[in-house]
Amino acid sequence: MTQVRTRFAPSPTGYLHVGGARTALFSWLFARHHGGAFVLRIEDTDLERSTAESVNAILEGMTWLGLEYDEGPFFQTRRFDRYQAVIDELMAKGLAYRCDCPRERLDALREEQMAKRLKPRYDGHCRGREVDPAKPHVIRFRNPDSGSVVVDDIIRGRVVFSNEELDDLVIRRSDGSPTYNLSVVVDDMDMGITHVIRGDDHLNNTPRQVNILRALGKEAPRYAHVPMILGDDGARLSKRHGAVSVIQYRDEGFLPEALLNYLVRLGWSHGDQEIFSLDEMIEYFDLAEVNKAASVFNTEKLRWLNQHYITHGDPARIAHLLSPHLGRLDIDPAQGPDLVEVVKAQQGRAATLVELAAISAFFYRDFEDYDPKAAKKHLRPVAREPLARARAALETLDDWTPEALHALVDGIAADLGVKMGKVAQPLRVAVVGRAASPGIDLTLWLVGREACLRRIDRALAHIDARAGDEG
């Protein structure tokens, strides 16, 4: 059996967007499922728009997602000699020809055809003409005049294209550079690609590429055209819907495994299962089960998945990923409690790492302001005695552990004849600045004695000032 070989072939004209990432994921999973090879190819023949920065962004996005490629990256700009050799072969066989039709003629032809409600297409004017190779010209592929191209698409099913609807496409520009359809065919042929998985916006290119392959005496690969991704308004996903760059999702605090899990479910399913490990994706993924219809991107669903992975992830790994987000808040996690312990205390409380960093900042530095509602409710004059007692007990506590801290708060509540919350909540607002945090024992333990005492003093001063104002 021939080894399955898939490829991801982005154009380096921008970032790696989520649509491209899903295509890469489907290609990667299909190769891994069949024990095949996954090839990365950079299609950079658009010399004006391709940039090194975009190449780096694509590679960075692939690395972050963990989509390792077995071969590549291959760059089309380094294969121009090979493309020219194939063009020469087609010319020698009479399957390609020079065309020097000026832009004015082509524009006029297009307008005339559109006026007659015909499909705009080149009319083969230069097919039998002798064109001076020394003068500016393009080279066109001589498309078959009759017959059809049948594409048995793995996702879309049988699609038939009439050759009469296809024109003689340009395969080499006037500057000597190859066009997309020519270079893609040569690369897929040379690299032994068996399955081409790509967006359905390329479906109309497929019959053209199949015809070029036939002209070269080669068998076409199997094709699978993946439907597009839509925003929640039904329009094609774009920047106006929010983040679309893979790296932007990383910077906004999403985990790669959450994004992969979400992308694999965009148009594919395995029963009612929602959460997939990477191994499960590889085991279950089947192109034949990909939906034909477009998928709608739902950021809230992605946030739900991300929170699941934060909540159930390895605390050490989450801490490693969280660290740079704390750094953006000018917090050095080495100057404070163990970040892994902070993650253990906070897991399940945030949907993104950015949110997790924000709600964990109080462990490492004093907060600026109290939450107004929390302060109004819990930092009242009645809370002064519980806070003062807590401060005195915390200052002399020998065993600074969660267990001892819990017993201390419980003991103060018992002495005062009140429920534990009447002590814990004022203490929490004093130390955290808001009414929500991990258990009071974990909170006090991680914040540390010195910071706890300092913040309680501030809360007592706040209560005294409030009492003075009310008096």
pLDDT digits (tens, 9 = 90+) for 342-400: 999 999 999 999 999 999 999 999 999 999 999 999 999 999 999 999 999 999 999 99
Q: Give 470's pLDDT tier (boundaries 50, 70, 90).
A: low
Give the rounded percent of residues in the chain with a pLDDT score beyond 90. 92
**Where does residue 124 fall: left (phi above 0), alpha (psi -120 to 50 degrees), or beta otherwise?**
left
| pLDDT tens-digit series, residues 405-439 | 999 999 999 999 999 999 999 999 999 999 999 99
Residue range 273-310, pLDDT digits in tens: 999 999 999 999 999 999 999 999 999 999 999 999 99
Kindly tell me if the per-residue pLDDT of 466 is higher than 90.
no
Structure tokens that stand for 325 in this block: 């987000």
Is the pLDDT at 468 greater than 80, yes or no? no
Kindly give, in sequence order, each residue whose CB lies less than 8 Å from that of residue 90, ignoring residues fewer than 6 positions away: 96, 141, 171, 212, 215, 216
For residue 240, count other CB atoms closer than 10 A to its CB: 9
Q: Cβ-count burial of 102 within 10 angstroms (0-12 exposed, 13-18 middle, 19+ buried)?
A: exposed
Tell which wins on pLDDT, 82 or 118: 82
Residue 464 has pLDDT above 60, yes or no: yes
pLDDT of residue 383: 96
Q: How many residues does the chain have?
A: 471
Q: What is the pLDDT of residue 45?
A: 85
For residue 236, the model assigns a pLDDT of 81
Residue 276, classed as helix, strand or coil, is coil
From 92, 84, 79, 76, select the one nearest 215 (Cα to Cα): 92
Distances 173 to 76, 102, 135, 139, 178 between C-alpha atoms, Å: 15, 13, 13, 7, 6
Nearest to 261 by CA among 10, 15, 29, 8: 29
Whole-number mean pLDDT of the chain? 95
Structure tokens at 324: 């740079």
∠ CA 36-41-43, rounded to 5°: 150
> Catalytic pick from 93, 119, 239, 373?
239
pLDDT at 240: 66
Taking alpha carbons only, the member of 201, 204, 117 closest to residue 160 is: 204
Return the closest-CA partner of residue 345 out of 454, 436, 411, 453.
436
Q: Model pTM?
A: 0.92
What's the pLDDT at 234? Answer: 79
Active site residue 419: no
For residues 76 and 171, the answer to whether their CB atoms sit within 8 Å is no
Separation of alpha carbons 357 and 330, rounded Å: 11
Nearest-angstrom CA–CA distance, 460 and 462? 5
CA dist 25 and 259 (Å) reads 11
